[in-house]
Amino acid sequence: MEELPMSPAGHDPQGQVKQQQAAGVGILLQIMMLVLSFVLGHVLRRHRFHYLPEASGSLLIGLIVGVLANVSDTETSIRTWFNFHEEFFFLFLLPPIIFQSGFSLQPKPFFSNFGAIVTFAIIGTFVASVVTGGLVYLGGSMYLMYKLPFVECLMFGALISATDPVTVLSIFQELGTDVNLYALVFGESVLNDAMAISLYRTMSLVNRQSSTGEHFLMVVIRFLETFAGSMSAGVGVGFTSALLFKYAGLDTENLQNLECCLFVLFPYFSYMLAEGVGLSGIVSILFTGIVMKRYTFSNLSEASQSFVSAFFHLISSLAETFTFIYMGFDIAMEQHSWSHVGFILFSILFIGVARAVNVFGCAYLVNLVRQENQKIPMKHQKALWYSGLRGAMAFALALQSLHDLPEGHGQIIFTATTTIVVVTVLLIGGSTGKMLEALEVVGDDHDDSMSEGFEESNPRYIPPPFSIGASSDEETSSSGSRFKMKLKEFHKSTTSFTALDKNFLTPFFTTNNGDGEEE
């Protein structure tokens, strides 16, 4: 019998067959875990069991299967299919999640709280990163924990400041929480991811090069350029898509497939364009989602609108569930450094302190310039502090730090981050329902009715981010007065943009004349 020829690369066909079988088994296990996660999530929702949210259940499934794979000494060729690759996460799993976040934003509660959301997500994340990094460095200097260089501490502070409250938000929806509290948590988490990635990359750049004061100033400028450039790229792609769908005449029945295919491709075009020119794809695709929902979506036919809405919701749900499974399995399979438990314990304490400085400090600034009936109540501030879970973004950046930092340091940060992710997702996520009941924010509709008052008086009116106004008996300092004057200018620019959107942008980019209600 004639022998099978060897392949050009020197691999025998039998080995290739075994690799294909291993790939089939690996993919089959992933599909089985996805099915199990969705079924478990349905059962948990049906019985209103909030102690184990869907995201926590998916993470737990991944952890259990990973432990079993270690115990059973599963073949290496199969286990490699479960390794968490940060490139795969950032290029394939994260884009649909971020786009859906921007695409599903409810305009009225989001823009009525836009100033507060930006304050928490931009200023607050920066403060939390610096406070976390500073406390970790101080703890190391006082020999309370393993000492890392200052810039590496700031890198850890940046990556661990990325919040992922998908678990909290799902419970918020099920229990019926205040719409403005939901908008704050959701809006902060969307912008927070982009901010955390930009900060981490900035600190990584400083760590690789000489960090003189002049150089650090250039890095800050580079960060601002990257953020502004990414936002401009995302908005530009979104507006381009709106004009294409407005004038190309694709909203006919026989062109529905082409219409949907083009709509689906634009978000990835935005993401890859930004990444290809050295900008942030996360920021770009987020703003593409916001612009495409506001302007492009209304240019689609009704059938295409239904399809793309369901499609992006579907793939984002699959990506989120798969990410938590993927993450849980990899946590169980990776090598961890448990020789510095003090670093882990103090890190958990420090991120709680930094989160408190972020939330309560930013809430104080926001309330300083809001009217009395629009201030963020303390119970909402506590809920916002409690909802700062860490998830896939922090884990992916920690995995990236294994390549960016010396071997020992990257391993310590990775172990600390995975521990924090598991603790926050399983313990804090599982206790969110009780937290909401204890704070008495379930079914709270005071601020919602306030927002409805604005909307009823003018359906197209977007309330200013910071409502300017205070009682006549309040005494303010000269610095506070100057601060309020700047906010008044910001308020004028906001109302001007509302008029610009209604009178120019909406008629120019959509088939509407600007008189219809916001979605």
pLDDT score for 243: 92
Rounded CA gap, 243 and 465, in Å?
29
- Which residue, among 497, 495, 503, has the nearest Cα to 467 in the 3D structure? 495
CA 161 to chain centre: 11
**3-state DSSP call for residue 440?**
coil
* pLDDT 10s digits, 422-456: 888 888 877 877 887 888 776 554 444 434 433 33
Amino acid at 329: F
| For residues 21-33, average pLDDT | 81
| Orientation of helix 150-160 relative to helix 341-368, angle to 10° | 70
pLDDT tens track for 175-213: 777 788 888 888 888 778 878 888 888 888 777 775 545
d(CA 366, CA 389): 23
User: Helices in 72-143 by DSSP H: which ranges?
Assistant: 76-79, 86-88, 94-103, 107-112, 114-118, 125-141
**305 neighbors 297 (Cβ within 8 angstroms):** yes
Are the beta carbons of 127 and 369 closer than 8 angstroms? no
Of 509, 519, 511, nearest to 240 by C-alpha is 509
Total residues belonging to the chain: 519
Residue among 357, 351, 337 nearest 158 (CA): 351
DSSP-derived letter for residue 300 is S
Q: Output the pLDDT for position 480.
A: 53
CA–CA separation, 161 vs 209, rounded Å? 23
Q: Where are the beta strands (DSSP E) in 376-446?
A: none
Task: Give the residue with greater pLDDT, 341 vs 444.
Answer: 341
What is the identity of the amino acid at 24?
A: G
Answer whether 41's CB lies under 8 Å from 57's CB: yes
Please choose, from the candidates 314, 306, 270, the residue with its C-alpha nearest in 3D space to the C-alpha of residue 288: 270
Q: Which of 63, 28, 52, 30 is closest to 318 using CA atoms?
A: 30
Computed over its alpha carbons, how large is the radius of gyration of the chain? 24
State pLDDT tens for residues 203-252. Answer: 887 777 755 455 567 667 777 788 889 889 999 999 999 999 988 877 66
Residue 290 CA to residue 103 CA, distance in Å, equals: 5
* Of 147 and 85, the one with more pLDDT: 147
Ranges 34-38, 87-91, 254-258, 281-285, most confident: 34-38
- CB pairs under 8 A, 24+ apart, for 503-512? 505/295, 506/295, 509/239, 509/242, 509/243, 509/246, 509/295, 509/296, 510/242, 510/246, 510/295, 510/298, 510/299, 511/246, 511/298, 511/299, 512/298
pLDDT of residue 456: 36
Structural domain spans, the chain: 86-318+343-386
| Helix-, strand-, coil-residue percentages of the chain, each rounded to 5 | 75, 0, 20
Between 9-18, 38-47, 100-109, 377-386, the lowest mean confidence (pLDDT) is in 9-18
Q: What is the pTM of this model?
A: 0.76
Q: Which two tokens stand for residue 460?
A: 């197209």
Q: Name the pLDDT band for 289 (thresholds 50, 70, 90).
A: very high
Give tens-digit pLDDT for 312-337.
Answer: 999 998 988 888 888 888 888 777 77
Q: Could you tell me if 193 and 98 are in contact, meaning their C-beta atoms sit under 8 angstroms apart? A: yes
pLDDT at 251 (0 to 100): 67
